[in-house]
Structure 1
Amino acid sequence: MPATSRRNRRRDTPPPRTGNSEAEVLRGFLDYLRVSMAAKVEDAPEPQVRTAGVPSGTNLLGLLNHLTFVERATFLGENVTDWPATFQATPDDRVADVVARYRETVERANTVLDGCIDLGAPVPRPRSGRPAPSVRWALTHMIEETGRHAGHADILRELIDGATGR
């Protein structure tokens, strides 16, 4: 296990100060977690970024790849047929590619959310066969999903090179 040096310690960023409305709080916390997650992955070294850190096979690049698919399914209506496969990036994917795809997906999701005034209304996304969840549910789910995987990423990144903090 690598020793944590001062240069590997990031300053911990406190939770965001948001507006007072429910939408501002939910979106503020989701964006905070999204930025933290991308930062954990974007400068991680190869090949460790894709090397399993635990027996389940979980790795940093796979976590960010998975969150890209969850964002697309939740806010953009994309159909995912093999969720376990989303936890692995392709061998040709570079770290920069996966981070860029995630950030682009987040931008597209935020464009959808910018048009959502009523948190109780369904997410306006094309999807046949299943009703869309409410915007409130989708935001809450993404906070939970992103926060959970950001915690995994914290541990994996520290195991890789001792980097800590958000």
Structure 2
Amino acid sequence: MPSRPHRRDTPPPRTGCSEVETLRGFLDYLRARVAAKVEGTPEPQARTSTVPSGTTLVGLLNHLAHVERANFLGERVTDWPATFRVPDTDSVADVVARYREAVERADEVLDRCTDLAAPLRSPGRPTVSTRWALVHLIEETGRHAGHADILREQADGSTGR
């Protein structure tokens, strides 16, 4: 039986007691985990789909960068399925850097927010509260982190959060 790569498991964060510390702590945890899942994947495997939907690791992370920018920076996305596609000229490192830059810019918006009930305005979209956007990003990032776990294990056997 072939040996399996060591399971790297990172437990959920121990956050402060406030609502904002808890929400941001879990979002940051998920962001770091999904980026790490993609970052360590060899180039050909990061772009190879092993599922009927055609989903790839770099495609998931590219999509999540668009989600961050749409929710916190007000950028408009007109073709969500296209956000899962990454040009061949973009390396894994390029996609990871683009995601981290989107997260950094989103965090700048969140750092200025003192009230989770405050509205986040995005042109052409219904206004939502900062709380709603945080919870949505936790759900979206967590869901795609699970997809990334499966794709990464299929790519090279690597498991763990």
Q: TM-score range by the shorter chain?
A: over 0.9
Contact 2:76–2:123 at 8 Å: present in 1 too?
no
Match of 1:66 in 2: 63
Contact 2:30–2:141 at 8 Å: present in 1 too?
yes
**What is the aligned counterpart of 1:137 among 125, 129, 132?**
132
Aligned-partner Cα distance in 1 for 2:42–2:3: 15
Which structure 1 residue ranges, 5 or more long, are not aligned? none
Matched, 1:27 2:29: no
Match of 1:98 in 2: 95
Match of 1:36 in 2: 33
Q: Root-mean-square deviation (CA), in Å?
A: 1.4
The code of the aligned residue for 1:63 comes to L
Match of 2:158 in 1: 163
What is the CA deviation profile of residues 101-136 of structure 1, one whole-angstrom value per residue up to 9, with x for unaligned ones?
A: 00011010001000111111112x5x3333431000
More displaced 10-residue stretch of structure 1: 129-138 or 87-96: 129-138
Aligned-partner Cα distance in 2 for 1:90–1:152: 21
The code of the aligned residue for 1:97 comes to D
Partner SS for 2:128: coil
The code of the aligned residue for 1:144 comes to E
Match of 1:112 in 2: 109
The code of the aligned residue for 1:42 comes to E
- Equivalent residues in 2 for 1:48-67 (5 A)? 48-67=45-64
Q: Which runs of 4+ in 1 moved over 4 A?
A: none
Q: How many matched pairs?
A: 161
Q: 1:21/1:156 Cα in 2 relative to 1: closer, same or farther (>3 Å)?
A: same
| Aligned-residue offset at 1:43 | 1.5
TM-score in terms of structure 2 length = 0.95
Aligned-partner Cα distance in 1 for 2:3–2:22: 33
Aligned-partner Cα distance in 1 for 2:7–2:135: 27
Q: Percent identity?
A: 72
| Aligned-residue offset at 1:33 | 0.1
Contact 1:71–1:105 at 8 Å: present in 2 too?
yes
| Aligned-residue offset at 1:11 | 2.3
Aligned-partner Cα distance in 1 for 2:35–2:131: 23
